[in-house]
């Protein structure tokens, strides 16, 4: 899950951006000023920065350069200035893309995704399991013939998680922490039940994968074909 740092003094805009990016399965961290953004980036550099160039008492261009020194990540600029001169200056400094206010948040999301893709930052909305495709946008499982299957949320998340790292072992705790949240208080056996349901759901489809139990350890998904 890629992490995007959004730097803007306007909390409304930050929230707007967060909403749209999170819908795309992108983690969003918000900072309201350059100092906080720099401090955060020093410790935990994000994968990409969305930066409003016009913030009070701050040189956005300098901030951009400093951020890139720290993390060397792509930066998408937001600017209210539409003058070509400014845009060019931004690009010279190494901005990777820009948007002019007021912008369509959907377009922002599209551009962020395009940047992540261009910079090959691990990010995929979809997971492929043989002929199956898990689409996180629609929570659909689609097979090659276009047959669709809608899974309940937990089942989908579980299969998606397992399928994201085929062959890798996941302990119940790990799965619970990822899907149910770190503060889940319920029974570990719940995972078993969802695994069971996934298994029987894909039993007839002479599957492209199977979920293997590692006794005493957890589960692992194995893909047959590719």
Question: In the complex, which residues of this chain contact DNA (CB under 7 A)?
Answer: 150, 152-155, 172, 180, 184, 186-187, 189-190, 192-196, 199-200, 213-218
> Which residue in 183, 185, 200, 226 binds its own copies (CB under 8 A)?
183
Asked if residue 114 binds its own copies (CB under 8 A), the reply is: yes
Task: Give CA–CA dist 213/197, Å, rounded.
Answer: 14
Choose the stretch contacting its own copies; rule: CB under 8 A; options: 31-39, 70-78, 88-96, 198-206: 88-96
43 binds, among its own copies, DNA, none (CB under 5 to 8 A by kind): none
Least CB distance from residue 96 to DNA, whole Å? 34
Least CB distance from residue 35 to its own copies, whole Å? 26
Burial class (CB in 10 A: 0-12, 13-18, 19+), 17: buried
Round to the nearest angstrom and report the end-to-end CA distance of the chain. Answer: 23
Give the residue with the Cβ less far from DNA, 97 or 155. Answer: 155
Asked if residue 84 binds its own copies (CB under 8 A), the reply is: yes
Asked if residue 122 binds its own copies (CB under 8 A), the reply is: no
Report strand pairing: 140-142 vs 132-135: antiparallel
Burial class (CB in 10 A: 0-12, 13-18, 19+), 160: buried
Asked if residue 225 binds its own copies (CB under 8 A), the reply is: no
Asked if residue 80 binds its own copies (CB under 8 A), the reply is: no
Q: Are 3 and 71 in contact (CB under 8 A)?
A: no
Cβ-based neighbours of 25, under 8 Å, separated by 6 or more? 1, 123, 125, 136
């Amino acid at each position: 899950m890629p992490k995007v740092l959004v730097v803007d003094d306007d909390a409304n805009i930050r929230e707007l951006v967060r909403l749209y990016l999170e819908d795309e399965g992108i983690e969003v961290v918000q900072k309201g000023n350059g100092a906080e953004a720099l401090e955060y980036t020093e410790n935990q550099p994000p994968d990409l920065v969305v930066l409003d160039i016009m913030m009070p008492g701050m040189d956005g261009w300098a901030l951009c350069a400093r951020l890139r020194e720290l993390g060397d990540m792509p930066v998408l600029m937001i600017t209210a200035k539409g003058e070509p001169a400014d845009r060019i200056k931004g690009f010279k400094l190494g901005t990777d893309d820009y948007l002019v206010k007021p912008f369509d948040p959907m377009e922002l999301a599209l551009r962020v995704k395009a940047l992540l893709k261009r910079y090959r930052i691990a990010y995929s909305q979809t997971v492929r399991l043989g002929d199956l495709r898990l689409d996180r946008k629609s929570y659909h499982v689609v097979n090659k013939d276009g047959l669709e299957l809608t899974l309940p949320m937990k089942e989908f998340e579980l299969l998606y998680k397992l399928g994201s790292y085929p062959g890798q072992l996941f302990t119940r705790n790990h799965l619970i922490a990822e899907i149910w949240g770190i503060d889940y208080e319920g029974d570990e056996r719940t995972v078993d039940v969802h695994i069971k349901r996934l298994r029987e759901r894909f039993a007839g489809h002479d599957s492209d994968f199977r979920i293997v139990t590692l006794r005493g350890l957890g589960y692992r998904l194995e893909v047959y074909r590719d």
